[in-house]
Structure 1
Amino acid sequence: MVPPASRDAPESAGHGEAAAPPAAPAPWAASVRFGLGVLLVAMAAAAFAIAFRSALALALHRAAGTSDVVAAMLAAPRWARLALPATGGLLAGLLGMLVARAPAGHGVGDVMEAVVLGRVRLSMRVTLLKSAASWLAIATGGSIGREGPLIQFGGAAGKLVSDRLGLPIDRARLLIAAGTAAGFAAAYNTPFAAVLFVLEVVTGIVVLDAIVPALISTVIAAAITRAVLGEAPIYGQRTFHLRSPAELLAFAGLGISAALGAQGFMRLLSFGERQFRRPWLGLPWRPAAGGALAGAVVAFLPEVAGNGYEPLNAVLDGRFPVGFLALLLLGKCFATTASVSSGSPGGVFTPTLLLGGGAGVLYAWALSHAGVPLGEAGGYALVGMAAATAATTHAPLMAAVMVFELSGDYAIVLPLVLATAIATLVSRRLRRDSIYTAELRQRGIGWKMTMEGRRMVEPAAAPRDSARRGSGR
């Protein structure tokens, strides 16, 4: 799919051998099979997302009378807030022992390796085991995102369907990309951002062959998900008003601040992983220890439980006082680091949105108290969400479009584009790798971006702050 990458690395089916070219079928038959594959993958990604979220809501409702993990933790006694995340981490670690390949990796990194390099090692068995482990960790109050399993399942579904349909490796790579986009769309109800996630993060270059199936798969997955779970943006409709063109300077400063904060968060995750990678702390005790540390935070600050969806809504609505919000962000950083760096499979995408949104509110509060005339703090929360995401993923267009789709307000476009561009620029200056490419560099896979796409390069020694996270960021 990306010619430079395919020249530099052999396309394998996951067994270290070059894939034998299949017999060339009739063009129309191959197109029909590929179209059927896109349909099946999109439906599978949507169904899995609905099942994952519904099962989580049902379990919380049966156990605590609520579908909200934060509300469940608020109602639980303090000892349970401490014990449940540790138990969930232990169970996740036990499932991790069943995975043949160590559960260290974003999931997104696996997809990037499969799509760009043709090294297709995605296993549905491993994906389902990691998803089950992630579900257990989230249901018991772990501070991780649920979007990771949904995105990784889409990619694994693309691999499985391509195998069943007997598609050649080039079509299999496109189907994996389409499944990844479908999983993202099902997770966030943002179809445009889902396609851009594949183009900016996974492929790294606009490839027409990848755009069309990704667009179709996101439409199908988003339509199914909306029909079952609702059509509204997952964080509700938001309105934004730019006080004056001069306020764009303030949003430019927010882009810089968000990049610095995001870099600090990524380095904290890396530090946490180095601490947990002790030879005497193996599975299943490593994620159990991380769960216990996260539980120590949840015991006194229940709002840090889960992926951050519930407190982010409160941040956007302005329901938290500034002092509590600052404490929440610190607690979320620590709890997420403990959960993710210890190996509990899950994502940091939604936690990053919470951190960026909260940082945006604090930034607006500081400027307003310095006498700078600003618009509403909710607008700075939205832009902070996008800027922090851009800084961690190095995907400014995806981050801007995603928050635009989440807010549904065109007036916020200029601040979004400006802040995400600046955040990405600053973040790349401070650290050349995104949160995803850092994992690949740890595996010995290095590449650089050119006008022709990604080219393989000999990786330098892995930087100290490179991290191998829990699966599925």
Structure 2
Amino acid sequence: MERLSGWRWERQKIRFRGAGRWFVLSTLVGILAGLGSIVFHLLIHLGHHYFLDYLTGYLPPYPAGSPEIFPRTGRPFNPYMLVLVPALGGLAAGLITSRFCPEAEGHGTDAAIRAYHHEEGWMRARVPIIKTIASFFTLGTGGSGGEEGPITQIGAGWGSFVAQKLKLSPRERRILLAAGMGAGIGSIFRAPLTGALFAAEILYRDTEFEADVLIPSAIASIVAYSVYCAVFGWGAVFAANDYRFESPLQLGPYALMAFVLSGAVAIFVKVFYGFHDFFKRLNIPTFLKPAIGGLGAGILGFFIPDVLNFSYGFIQKALYNQVGMGMLFAVGLGKILATALSIGSGGSGGVFGPSIVIGGSIGGGMGWFFHRFLPDIVTDPAPFVIVGMAGFFAGSSNVPVTSVVVVSEITGSYHLLVPSLLVCSLTFYLCRPWNLYREQVPNPVASPAHKGDFFSDILEDIRVRDIFSPEKTYAVIPEDMTLRQFVRFFGRTEQHYFPVVDREGKLTGIFSINDVRGFLLDHDLWDLIVMKDIARSDVITTHPLEDINTVLRKFTIRNIDQLPVVSEEDPRIFIGMISRRDVINFYNQRLEEIKRRTLTRSEW
């Protein structure tokens, strides 16, 4: 009893040691990601101050929870400089990424997802630094994008860096990379729960969570959030009234809005990747492409300045009902084009933030529409801004759970969960053909990160009776058959393994053609040797109820290709044979069935 208690105590100590290790690693990643968020946020505001405010006289409005860091210069607005500055920022970002780190271009989250699935969580140590600098030039000069995509890749880079320096395994490296992703989002958005859920959900196209990364991501997100907010203050990014859902009649307008949002998601994805693929094919130096995209965004900003940069201040005004329906729709559609130009051309910025802005703008426009025609049901358009943000993000990114949580955290409003759940569920299913993150895989089965994980699970679910056929005939050899008699018989069969039975038909041994080969040249022994002398008596057998995982291990004991199948009641009653090839073929068929089912579910 004392020995048993000691064993349990040792096991508990191992568990505690493992938990403490992951707590320390996740905390370290959270600190690095939080510090990275602080530097990145400061740089972006510095860029706004000098590149936008000082050179163009334009400074985008900020949300209530994330005010200006530097005082305004008061310089007069120069719309022509507003066209030029994003182009120069795109040129600088293009020069940096093409020269030092091509994987730092684009919206960043896809690169982190790709590293998780296909590169064993490995990212070059320079990625966080180059991504910070490139995003500073793209976003600091007014390029349309979000902080969240870059900080996702920056946090992922720090997670991978820690894992590499500590020489951790590929699985551990993947977990820390994902924890860094969550820490980046949790800090920059001041939404720690969102960060944890985002890192676990964004990896897959279906409604799947990566369970291994959830707790480390939560710890890293909390730490990064605390580090970041200790510098820039606490509270939600946006200020919003505590809106409440109080009438089931409102579900009708919310459901209709989900269909409109789904159409907008389709437009956004097609336009974004249309420009992305166009710029990829464009036969000019790579560093010039973000400059062209920045120039296009600047021209659009000449007419609608609110589409440049984050546009969070515009959403804040929409939450205060200070923007009309026409302007909301204009900015929503304009933001699609501006983001496609700025980021699709190779500029460095995120699409998470623009998704929130597009959804909030279109949702606000729909809110004003319903308020105008159904004022007794929709008494305030502002809640549609919040639900629109959630719905659009769920449809464009395949993260329905994270989407419901994120808008609650960034607005501090938790009483719109019912319409948010409805709209996010609808847009998630309606938008299955479109997705902003091309590197997502359908589910863990399709991920190289889990290659081999399901092998044993599938095999343990298969029994011998599922594969071998009792009706198939196998030759059994009597113990007293001479070698000469067997040689004559062997010429008429293609069988390679031969069970040996006694006079009662009970299994006593087995031999293969290889066991016979050594006697074939000595003809004088053919009439003296009986097959009982050649057969092995220590027969390795299986029975119909045994799982195939165990059977495969038995094949490897002597490196044999076939096993006798015997009755589970009496192991001496021979009923058939099962081969290694039969097992592998059946496994491949079962795996293809699983893949087809998951593909069908993914398409649905």
Q: Is the pair's TM-score, using the shorter chain for normalization, greater than 0.5?
A: yes
Q: Cα 1:404–1:75, aligned 2, differ >3 Å: closer, same or farther? A: farther
Distance 1:406 1:68 in 2: 26
Report the Cα distance in structure 2 between the residues aligned to 1:88 and 1:455, rounded to whole angstroms: 40
Looking at structure 2, the residues matched to 426 and 415 of structure 1 have their Cα atoms a distance apart, in angstroms, of 16
Cα deviation 1:266-324 (Å, max 9, x = unaligned): 11112212332334223211111111111111122221120221111111111112222
Identity %: 26
| Alpha-carbon distance between aligned partners in 2 of 1:299 and 1:50, rounded to the nearest angstrom | 30
Distance 1:48 1:249, change over 3 A: same
Give secondary structure in 2 for the equivalent of 1:227.
Answer: helix
Out of 60, 63, 67, the residue aligned to residue 70 of structure 1 is 60
Question: Match of 1:228, as an amino acid?
Answer: V
Q: Which residue matches 1:213?
A: 216
CA distance in 1 between partners of 2:418 and 2:449 (Å):
29
Which of residues 397, 416, 420 in structure 2 aligns to 1:416? 420
Which structure has more helix as a fraction of its residues? 1
Deviations 1:120-162 (A, max 9, x none): 3312313321321111111111111121121111111111111
Partner of 2:363: 360
User: Deviation of residue 99 (structure 1)?
Assistant: 3.2
Partner residue of 1:381? 385
Q: Does 1:318 align with 2:308?
A: no
- Seen in structure 2, the aligned counterparts of structure 1 residues 187 and 452 have a Cα distance that, compared at 3 Å, is same
2:36 maps to 48
Question: For the Cα contact (< 8 Å) 2:33–2:180, is it kept in 1?
Answer: yes
User: For residues 195 and 223 of structure 2, what CA distance do their matches in structure 1 show?
Assistant: 12
Deviations 1:237-286, CA, capped at 9 Å, x for gaps: 43213341121122122222211111111111122123323342232111
User: In the superposition, relative to structure 1, how do residues 396 and 453 fare at CA in structure 2: closer, same or farther (>3 Å)?
Assistant: farther
Q: Following TM superposition, by how much is the alpha carbon of 1:31 offset from its aligned partner in structure 2, in angstroms?
A: 5.5
Q: Deviations over 1:188-247 (max 9, x none)?
A: 111111111112112663454322211111111111112111111001243213341121
Give the aligned partner of residue 164 of structure 1: 165
Structure 2 residue 102 is matched with structure 1 residue 89: no
Larger RCO (CA within 8 A; separation ≥ 6):
1
Separation in structure 1 between the aligned mates of residue 153 and residue 86 of structure 2, nearest angstrom = 23
Report if the CA contact (8 A) 1:262-1:391 is conserved.
yes
Structure 1 stretch displaced more, 103-112 or 409-418: 103-112
Which residue number corresponds to residue 5 of structure 1? none
CA distance in 2, matches of 1:69, 1:316: 20
Aligned-residue offset at 1:435: 1.4
* Partners of 1:423 and 1:269 in 2: CA distance: 19
Work out the CA distance in 1 between the residues paired with 2:211 and 2:16: 19
Give the distance between the partners of 2:450 and 2:40, measured in 1 at CA. 37
Q: Which structure 2 residue ranges, 5 or more long, are not aligned?
A: 1-13, 62-71, 452-590, 597-604
- Could you say which residue in structure 2 is the equivalent of 1:273? 276
1:180 equivalenced with 2:197 (yes/no): no
Aligned residue type for 1:265: F
Does structure 2 retain, via aligned residues, the 8 Å contact 1:182–1:222? yes
Partner of residue 471, structure 1: none
Equivalences, count: 426
The separation in 2 between residues aligned to 1:68 and 1:213, in whole angstroms, is 41
- Alpha-carbon separation, structure 2, partners of 1:309 and 1:329: 12
Q: 1:235 to 1:123 in 2, by over 3 A?
A: same
* Larger Rg over CA atoms: 2
Q: CA deviation at 1:342?
A: 0.8
CA–CA distance in structure 2, aligned partners of residues 210 and 439 of structure 1: 18
Q: State the partner residue of 1:18.
A: none
Judged with a 3 Å threshold, the aligned counterparts in structure 2 of structure 1 residues 289 and 394 are, in CA distance, closer, same or farther, namely: same
| Separation (CA, whole Å) in 2 of partners of 1:304 and 1:74 | 21
CA drift of 1:327 comes to 2.4
- Tell whether the 8 Å contact from 1:57 to 1:68 is kept in structure 2 after alignment: no
Within 5 Å, give how 1:4-153 maps onto structure 2. Answer: 32-62=20-50, 64=53, 69-70=59-60, 75-101=76-102, 103=104, 106-117=107-118, 119-153=120-154
Tell me which amino acid in the other structure corresponds to 2:385: A
Q: Tell me which moved more, 50-59 or 144-153.
A: 50-59
Length-normalised TM-score, structure 2:
0.65
Partner residue of 1:396 out of 400, 403, 415: 400
Distance in structure 1 (CA, Å) of the matches to 2:160 and 2:57:
33
Offset, 1:183:
0.6
C-alpha displacement of 1:179: 1.1
